Amino acid sequence: MNIINFTEANCKNCYKCVRSCPVKAIMVKNEQAEIVTERCIGCGICLQTCPQNAKNIKSDLKEIQKWIQEGKKVVASIAPSFPAAFQLEQEEQIVTALKKLGFQRVEETAIGAELVSRVYKRLYDHSSWEHVITTSCPTINYLIERYHPSLVKYMAPVVSPMIAHGKLLKKRFGKETKIVFIGPCISKKFEILHFQHDDVIDGMITFDELHYWLKESRFCLRELPVSSFDSIQCNEARWYPLAGGVAYSVLKGKEDRRTVIKVDGIENCIDLFESLKKGQISNSWIEINACSGGCINGPGIQLSPWGKCIRREKVIEYIHKKRSLNTFDKDILDSVREKQLFKVFMERPIQAKIPTEEQIKEILQNIGKYKKEDELNCGGCGYNTCREKAIAVFQGMAEKYMCLPYMRSRGETLSNFIIQNTPNAIIVLDQDLNIVEFNPSAEKLFGYKDSEVLKKPIQMIMQNSGFEKVQRDKKLIYRGNHCLEDYEIAVWETVLYIKEQAMYLGIFSDITQEMKDKESIRKMRENTLNMTQEVIDKQMRVAQKIASLLGETTAETKVTLNQLKRLVQSQEGEL
């Protein structure tokens, strides 16, 4: 199941997500970006950088609301970075808000961090471990397991504070209780999926999702009364969401036995991993966090009203307020044994075929890169180098024609080829009707070389053209016949005004022969009609003569027959 998904209609092939992804877990297929789950480390950087809002995250919000509506017992575990996420008069107004939404209990995830700190302290003192890497950040855990598997042996074998708190809550309130984690992290959604069969955390929403829920419910946080957390008071573990906060919580300045290293930001983490693999660091305890500045700058806290520096101060302010109120309940924490917090991390290297040099060379040549100088390494495709992109093409993660310089060059070449070879005359004018483009067909039609007419007014070529009509009548397009008597030709002209470039484009088709053919056909038709009329007239005259002769003959015949009749009748009387 994908936690982060793409909306195809919004994906515009900008490759910004590919460029920002630190592990290149985004595949482009059929010009659409798609996250490859096996490669993803859940950092959420692509969510923050996508300019088209083409990505969305899987949400448990509807399911959580359903549990509440059904009357199930739902407990919230809220991350200690919450003061950085909301505008509150008093921090514990968030407890009131969550209970108004339907949560029966609200506890701080920092309680789970107290449990985890116990294991970290023991590992710090464990002499057999050359290095200890904290494992509270799921994104870093995935980064090591998949991309730096040789360092898995240094990962502290302990669950995250979220899972630790979930185990404690399930133990206290029963497995039928629904535990919901609320925090600033996207990769926690991935982590919950991996613990799905352990029935620890039932659902998770980010602070941003909670913002939407509160807005939908029309709650004004600053106007709500204050309610206390239902949890046992936690101790120094509220420092966990700040860069360096884990070391502060666990070691409290006792950093004499090991080199304590605090690293945040994925690029810095990767740089540290390379140093570890090269043996440049020894006997270290490493606090590591994917988000620069710590969890207070996670991808699920983007709707925070505070700037990054202010977020840190808000959390510190809350820690100092609560410090004097700590009534740490050791017995409840002791109910969760250390072995219940144990977690095995495994080497899960990405299995990807590496192309040969010949295969890389062939891919590069397909996009016009025949020599080293052709490899611009501009990063437009999202990859740092052309070679890296070629490898991604071979592995099916990228498409050949994602190369923007190549596609631009190809487009320009294709456009130029069409303009140079079209049988239509093409003339382009600037805003003042001066010629800026005059293709070979235009040279042939009008009898001028482009060097003779460039930067000259169109009136040098023709008068009363469509260009002038479009300019005068403020039209965007004009079509019509134009007889150019000076050239003894007729043309069909189409003139467009291209507003974005403030230029006029004219396309002229020579229709002289067509017009001549039409005139010839017209004359032939006229002659045919004339000849037809003459034949009709002659036929009428013949008919009239025939009728006249027939009339005379008929009359004479009548007289003769009448005379014959009378003669016969007289002879019959005598008899």
pLDDT 10s digits, 142-186: 999 999 999 999 999 999 999 999 999 999 999 999 999 999 999
- Give the C-alpha separation, 290 to 296, whole Å: 11
State whether residue 192 is helix, strand or coil: helix
pLDDT tens digits for range 239-262: 999 999 999 989 876 777 889 999
Distance of alpha carbon 35 from its chain centroid, rounded?
11
Q: Are strands 425-429 and 503-510 parallel, antiparallel or unpaired?
A: antiparallel
424-510 topology per CATH: Beta-Lactamase (3.30.450)
- Strand spans (E) along 208-274: 259-264
- Give the C-alpha separation, 487 to 266, whole Å: 71
Average of per-residue pLDDT values in the chain: 88
- Give the C-alpha separation, 341 to 334, whole Å: 12
Which token pair is 280? 């440049």
Higher pLDDT: 338 or 76? It is 76
**HSE (CB half, 13 Å, CA atoms) of 226?**
6
**Phi-psi domain of 167 (left: phi exceeds 0; alpha: psi -120 through 50; beta: other):** alpha
Residue 239, amino acid: W
Under a CB-based contact definition with an 8 Å cutoff, are residues 398 and 367 in contact? no
What's the pLDDT score for residue 103? 97
pLDDT tens digits for range 416-445: 888 888 889 999 999 899 999 999 999 999
Which token pair is 246? 């884990």
Closest CA to 511 of 423, 438, 448: 423
Which token pair is 493? 């002209």
- Give the C-alpha separation, 108 to 82, whole Å: 10
What's the pLDDT score for residue 550? 74
Q: Residue 27's pLDDT band (boundaries 50, 70, 90)?
A: very high
Q: Residue 571's pLDDT band (boundaries 50, 70, 90)?
A: low
- Cα-flanking dihedrals φ and ψ of residue 191, to 5°? -60, -40
How many DSSP H helices and E strands does the chain contain? Answer: 20, 16
Which token pair is 506? 């004219």
Question: How many C-beta atoms surround the C-beta of residue 373 within 10 A?
Answer: 7
Beta bridge partner(s), residue 479? 494
- Give the C-alpha separation, 463 to 295, whole Å: 71
Q: Say if residue 3's pLDDT is above 60.
A: yes
Q: Residue 404's pLDDT band (boundaries 50, 70, 90)?
A: confident
Query: Lowest mean pLDDT: which of 110-124, 269-283, 394-408?
Result: 394-408
DSSP output for 468-525: HHHHHHT-SEEEEEEEETTTTEEEEEEEEEEGGGTEEEEEEEE-HHHHHHHHHHHHHH
Instruction: Kindly give, in sequence order, each residue whose CB lies less than 8 Å from that of residue 133, ignoring residues fewer than 6 positions away.
Output: 140, 144, 151, 154, 155, 156, 286, 288
Q: What is the DSSP letter of 253?
A: T
